[in-house]
Chains A and B, each alone.
Chain A
Amino acid sequence: SQQGEEDPQALSIQEGENATMNCSYKTSINNLQWYRQNSGRGLVHLILIRSNEREKHSGRLRVTLDTSKKSSSLLITASRAADTASYFCATDAWDNYGQNFVFGPGTRLSVLP
């Protein structure tokens, strides 16, 4: 089963509004990452937050991590039409072969002009 699960599945907002997406996971992690994907393209890394961090900022992005609730949120402030994309969280896990990542199904964000 997938480690990360985002909600909502889809979000539609007006330009200038803030967008919040959530991610929940099931097991202990080393870090959690957020990625963005424009339609038909590869994923682009946005931000990484480690398990010992609670909040991180990058430009208009703010990520929080609550390891007690096994959840993270991505906030995009003052959204723009160009922010329209799918957003994915990814968590890491270790097994006998090393480290690998599990992505959630994503949140489709539409920012209307």
Chain B
Amino acid sequence: IAGITQAPTSQILAAGRRMTLRCTQDMRHNAMYWYRQDLGLGLRLIHYSNTAGTTGKGEVPDGYSVSRANTDDFPLTLASAVPSQTSVYFCASSDGSGNEQFFGPGTRLTVL
């Protein structure tokens, strides 16, 4: 793989179910980010990690959790999905220090 990948591409999920969105990068970037994008609201940061083993809360962290066990992977988990979590989710990475972010192709999630 080259760059940053996300899986699945899209998912329809029943409310109350647990879901993990996967994100993997092969650029050895220290920092990784999860955003959700909703029409008219741009991208909102959910959680981020500046290095393996550390995570931080973004603007809209409620209902989501993340882990950063290694440099390459940064999964996002919805413990009990709700319809308001219907969105397009983007994962991104950067080599830190405020440099440019590289974005994955996104996961379109629908919670019914």
A binding-site residues for B, Cβ under 8 Å: 2, 30-31, 33, 35, 40-45, 48, 88, 90, 92, 95-106
Q: CB distance A103 to B55 under 8 Å?
A: no
Q: CB distance B42 to A44 under 8 Å?
A: no
Nearest B residue to A48 via CB reads: B100
Q: CB distance B42 to A2 under 8 Å?
A: yes
Chain B binding surface SS class: loop
Q: Which of chain B's residues have a CB closer than 8 A to the CB of A30?
A: 98
B binding-site residues for A, Cβ under 8 Å: 31, 33, 35, 40-45, 48, 50-51, 54-59, 90, 92, 96-106
- 17 further A-B pairs in the complex, CB-CB below 8 A; given A98-B31, A99-B97, A100-B33: A2-B59, A41-B106, A42-B104, A43-B103, A44-B103, A45-B101, A48-B98, A48-B99, A48-B100, A90-B101, A95-B56, A98-B51, A100-B56, A101-B45, A101-B48, A103-B43, A105-B41
Q: CB distance B101 to A88 under 8 Å?
A: no
Q: CB distance A97 to B103 under 8 Å?
A: no
Decide: A43 near B90, CB < 8 A? Known: A99-B50, A106-B42.
Answer: yes
Q: Which of chain A's residues have a CB closer than 8 A to the CB of B99?
A: 48
Chain B nearest Cβ from A30, distance in angstroms: 5
Q: Which of A33, A96, A97 contacts B55 (CB 8 A)?
A: A97
Q: CB distance A103 to B98 under 8 Å?
A: no
Chain A nearest Cβ from B105, distance in angstroms: 5
Q: Which of chain A's residues have a CB closer than 8 A to the CB of B44?
A: 2, 103
Decide: A45 near B45, CB < 8 A? Known: A97-B50, A99-B50.
Answer: no
Decide: A43 near B56, CB < 8 A? Known: A98-B50, A99-B31, A99-B98.
Answer: no
Chain A nearest Cβ from B39, distance in angstroms: 10
